Amino acid sequence: MNFFEVINKRRSYRGKYQAVKVPREDLKKIMEAGLAAPSGCNKQTTSLICVDAPEVLDKIHAVVTPPVAETAPAMICVLTQRIAAYRDKCFATQDYSAAIENMLLAITELGYHSCWIEGHITDDDRLGDKIAKLLNVPDDYELVCILPVGIAESEPAGPEKKSFEERAWFNTFRGAE
């Protein structure tokens, strides 16, 4: 695929995954794509833990209720550090968002599927904290997202998108030149 095909093919996948192990070399490529993302003032606030051991995945699934991605053979856990970068501004959210998008595109390019699962992890029940404890994450890191990785049992349908003209313009809002 070329770059634009990858962007247009990427879909959030919330279904079941095939019971096919994802090779470590592919997982490493995905993680390297995430770590290659830009970061505010080069603070590099994003870190990653890839879980592919079934016994560790089982422990994570035991704390994630309601369950999500429970059949994925691998999961990338996205960590952040809230570090002031410029004029006491923290760009951690932008940093990990860029890393996640890079990884989602890499996942698609390699023929796998995933879904950016964040709200479920950082909501009031703080599932991210429970997962972080299972993975021995230090207190100065926050687990903000999980990305299941695997081969989809079924191809996800693309969502209906608004047209370019409804969301993008040249020179002024709604192109009223």
- Domain 3-9+22-141, CATH 3.40.109.10 — does that match? yes
Q: Which residues of 115-136 are buried (b: 16+ CB within 10 A; e: fewer)?
A: bebbebbbeeeebbebbbeeee
Q: Each residue of 89-148: pLDDT tens digit?
A: 899 999 999 999 999 999 999 999 999 999 888 888 889 999 999 999 999 999 999 999
DSSP string, 78-89: EEE---EEETTE
Inter-CA distances, 54 with 64, 71, 74, 117, 136, Å = 15, 10, 8, 20, 17
Which helix (H) or strand (E) segment holds residue 77: the answer is: strand 74-80
pLDDT for residue 66? 82
Angle formed at CA 114 by CA 129 and CA 29, multiple of 5 degrees: 90
d(CA 138, CA 40): 22
**Taking Cα atoms as reference points, which of 108, 17, 110 lies closest to residue 61?**
17
Q: Each residue of 6-33: pLDDT tens digit?
A: 999 999 999 999 999 999 999 999 999 9
pLDDT for residue 124? 86
Beta strands in 93-155 (DSSP E): 142-149
Residue 46 corresponds to which amino acid? T
Residue 154 corresponds to which amino acid? S
pLDDT for residue 177? 60
- Its pTM stands at 0.94
d(CA 128, CA 31): 19
